[in-house]
A and B are shown apart, each in its own frame.
Chain A
Amino acid sequence: MSTQSRNPGDKRVQQDAGARLTRRTVVRAGLAAILAPPWLHSLSPADAAAIRGIGPDGEIVLGVSAAFSGPSRGLGTELYRGAKSYFNHVNENGGVNGRKVDLKLYDDGYQPDPCVKNTVKLILEDQVFLLFGYVGTPTVTRVLPMLKKFQAQRVYLFFPFTGAQPQREPPYGDFAFNLRASYRQETAGLVNNFMRIGRQRIAMFYQADAYGRSGWAGVRAALARHGVEMVGEATYRRGSRFTGSFRAQVEILKKATPDAVICVGAYAACAGFARDAVDLGLRVPIANLSFVGSENLLNLLSQGQDDPDAYARYLVNSQVVPSYEDTSIPAVKEYRELMARYDPQVPAELVKEAYTPFPHSFVSLEGFLDAKLMVEILRRLKGKPDRTGLEEAVFSVRDFDLGIGEAVSFGPDRRQGLQKVYYTVVEDGRFVTLDDWKAKFG
């Protein structure tokens, strides 16, 4: 029984193999051999044909599906800007082993179905080298089964902007590599700190989807370790805007008389909730996870306020990267320099709604660190950008210094590079590191 390849690349290989060896072919091959870049000389024709994700000029193409439109467009935009600033820097300085790194971008608006379609396009049509910088749990959890489906082609997802468990655990953990700490670690840190200062009645406001549930599960597990249960919970629909009302959710949580509320959502809804909570008298610490997009959250809460901290003084946000204000950290210094030098913008064809980016943000710093580690991994492929060597290249990263004071290591049982969680609060209209929980919220 013959099988027909559905992959256009495979078809091309079959056709090439069947081509007749003529004098013209030999001359062409000779010319190609002379003109080809040096790295190609080390590859057999079969190897060269097997390479996916290499652009016409030999650049390595990474596929990105992220939110560049909709209420969460700030997340995709900031993550892209941070990553792009580092890739631009690398490309300007000779690339990775002589190759430039290019990003193939698609917008999914933080919705699962478009994300799945984009991923199919990236894998089958664009044949990108790997998937990079996806945004969101509901999107990534729907893409993971597809990576399993294409496991023979070794399509990996690198450094998605989500701390959910599905891409960290079986059965899909083998197809993704994470840099950031997990939501489980973030929520556990928040719960532990609240417990330590005597705030035991924890309630939750979360997005009614996989992201929200992931955070909910983390909070629940952390509370269980302290022998307590969540006192209340309220949800909102993904895609809710800041202008919407969250009073129903606040009323639900008020009945539970919580000591603190942990929010697992995107910035538009979490800002709306914080606003309505303060307005309705629910004045307790309101914690948010790193995914929220802290600067966008603060921006919404400060708009049109005489006192910019009126709503924001109750916020405590966990972060998975250090403060971008701390220029004593080498990577932060480099990030600020490169962001100032390149100030990358999302390509105009992907911009559907206006968005004013921040000069610096936690999300763009994360994107920057993602790109920095990605480049290091590509560099370890040693001039042979073959997907089959990717996993080995990742596992060779041991105690790597990204420049943030935390060594990064990967291994077969360790598919997450960073473990540390940072906590920030708003002071004078900006996020600063929270050192003393007792003094702030005790």
Chain B
Amino acid sequence: MKIRKLFQKTQFGIFALFGLIVLSTSALTIYTVQTHLSTEYESNSRNIAKTIADASVDILLNRNLATLQSLIDQFVEIQGIRYVYITSDNGEYLAHTFVPGIPEAIRNSDPFETATVKRTLPGMGEFVEVGSPILAGFAGTVHVGMDLDVIGLKIQRAIGQQVYLISILLLVGVLGSIWFVNLAARPLGDLLAFAVKLARQEEPDGAQDERILARDDEAGELARLLLHVAQHKNAPDEPPPPAAKGAG
């Protein structure tokens, strides 16, 4: 694709501008999606923990641990939730979903913690854990662990889709800009070729010359002016052809 020297800087400017737009939009998207999804997942986890906590009160008071286990097992089927465990008011682990056992990191943690905690569990991965007290903590605490890998994967997928769209827009923009630049540069090329021909004192005769002379824009005006100058350089009294309306 031939780009006139005159527009090379413009072309570079367009690339740079699009690149800047893509980078800044991607960065903003990554930040927004990551923040939004992380917040949403944490919020969902907290809601789930609260739901379990609310549903657990009677079950816990009746010491019906099989039903309690059945309850938490259903929540682990939700995508993103990797573990749920319930600690009693004295910190005992009453029900959990860990296989093959409760990780040491969990055993060594505060069983009453309800704030958001990031955990790395060997062999399992990285998690965001939230807690919710049962009966204001008098009956125990529910802990829900969300898999950061799953969240990360979802965030990557969301960002990937955004970047994919922006990249397509960039490609279309760049191709479009090249096409437009070439469209703008072609009359200048014709004009240059026409001027060179005049300078060589050759008669305008080709279709290319006809096309440039027939244009009603600045390139056509300039071509006709150059032709006039060339034809009448030995007859200076003859007035130049009238300028087109609006021509500068």
Check if A216 sits within 8 Å of B101, measured CB to CB: no
1/0 contact string of A192-223 vs chain B (CB within 8 Å): 00000000000000001111111011000000
Measured CA separation A166–B65 after assembly (Å): 9
Measured CA separation A169–B58 after assembly (Å): 13
The number of residues on chain A lying at the interface, defined by a beta carbon within 8 Å of a beta carbon of chain B, is 27
Task: Name the segment of A95-103, A231-239, A315-323, A403-411 touching the other chain.
Answer: A231-239
Task: Name the segment of A136-144, A334-342, A343-351, A383-391 touching the other chain.
Answer: A136-144
Measured CA separation A249–B101 after assembly (Å): 7
- Residue A170 is within 8 A (CB to CB) of chain B in the complex: yes
Contacts of B102 in A (CB 8 A): 233
Check if B98 sits within 8 Å of A217, measured CB to CB: no
Check if A169 sits within 8 Å of B62, measured CB to CB: yes
- Residue A165 is within 8 A (CB to CB) of chain B in the complex: yes
Check if B99 sits within 8 Å of A170, measured CB to CB: no
Check if B66 sits within 8 Å of A164, measured CB to CB: yes
Contacts of A137 in B (CB 8 A): 66
Check if A236 sits within 8 Å of B73, measured CB to CB: no
Contact among B65, B99, B100, B101 with A214 in the assembled complex (CB-CB below 8 Å)? B65
Contacts of B24 in A (CB 8 A): none
- Residue A248 is within 8 A (CB to CB) of chain B in the complex: yes
Measured CA separation A424–B70 after assembly (Å): 30
Question: Which of A138, A208, A252 gathers most chain B CB within 10 Å?
Answer: A208
- Which residues of chain A in 253-290 are interfacial with respect to chain B, using CB atoms and an 8 Å cutoff? none
Contact among B63, B70, B96, B99 with A210 in the assembled complex (CB-CB below 8 Å)? B70
CB-nearest residue of chain B to A208: B99
Check if A141 sits within 8 Å of B100, measured CB to CB: no
Measured CA separation A4–B62 after assembly (Å): 37
1/0 contact string of A145-183 vs chain B (CB within 8 Å): 000000000000000000011100110000000000000
Contacts of B100 in A (CB 8 A): 234-236, 248-249, 252
Measured CA separation A411–B97 after assembly (Å): 37
Check if A210 sits within 8 Å of B66, measured CB to CB: yes
- Residue B120 is within 8 A (CB to CB) of chain A in the complex: no
- Residue B67 is within 8 A (CB to CB) of chain A in the complex: yes
Contact among B66, B68, B98, B101 with A211 in the assembled complex (CB-CB below 8 Å)? B66
- Residue B48 is within 8 A (CB to CB) of chain A in the complex: no
CB-nearest residue of chain A to B77: A113
Contact among A112, A142, A213, A235 with B65 in the assembled complex (CB-CB below 8 Å)? A213
Check if A210 sits within 8 Å of B69, measured CB to CB: yes
User: Given A234-B101, A249-B101, A252-B101, does the pair A217, B70 have CB atoms closer than 8 Å?
Assistant: no
Contacts of A209 in B (CB 8 A): 69-70, 73
- Which residues of chain A in 384-430 are interfacial with respect to chain B, using CB atoms and an 8 Å cutoff? none
Contacts of A248 in B (CB 8 A): 100
Measured CA separation A235–B69 after assembly (Å): 13
Query: What distance in Å separates the Cβ of B93 from its nearest Cβ neighbour in chain A?
Result: 9
Check if B66 sits within 8 Å of A213, measured CB to CB: yes
Check if A214 sits within 8 Å of B66, measured CB to CB: yes
User: Given A169-B62, A169-B64, A213-B95, does the pair A233, B69 have CB atoms closer than 8 Å?
Assistant: no
Contacts of B69 in A (CB 8 A): 209-210, 212-214
Check if A235 sits within 8 Å of B64, measured CB to CB: no
Check if A210 sits within 8 Å of B62, measured CB to CB: no
Measured CA separation A249–B97 after assembly (Å): 14
Contact among A141, A234, A237 with B70 in the assembled complex (CB-CB below 8 Å)? A141
User: Given A169-B62, A214-B65, does the pair A235, B70 have CB atoms closer than 8 Å?
Assistant: no
CB-nearest residue of chain A to B58: A171
Contacts of A164 in B (CB 8 A): 66
Check if B101 sits within 8 Å of A210, measured CB to CB: no
Check if B73 sits within 8 Å of A138, measured CB to CB: yes
CB-nearest residue of chain A to B73: A209
1/0 contact string of B66-91 vs chain A (CB within 8 Å): 11111001000000000000000000
Contacts of B65 in A (CB 8 A): 213-214, 216-217
Contacts of B66 in A (CB 8 A): 137, 141, 164-166, 210-211, 213-214, 217
Query: Could you jot down 15 A-B contacts, CB within 8 Å?
Result: A112-B70, A137-B66, A138-B73, A142-B70, A165-B64, A208-B97, A208-B98, A210-B69, A213-B69, A216-B65, A233-B102, A234-B101, A235-B99, A236-B99, A249-B100
User: Which residues of A pack against B, CB within 8 Å?
Assistant: 112, 137-138, 141-142, 164-166, 169-170, 208-214, 216-217, 233-237, 248-249, 252
What are the 6 A-B residue pairs with the smallest beta carbon separation, nearest first?
A: A213-B69, A214-B66, A210-B70, A217-B65, A210-B66, A248-B100
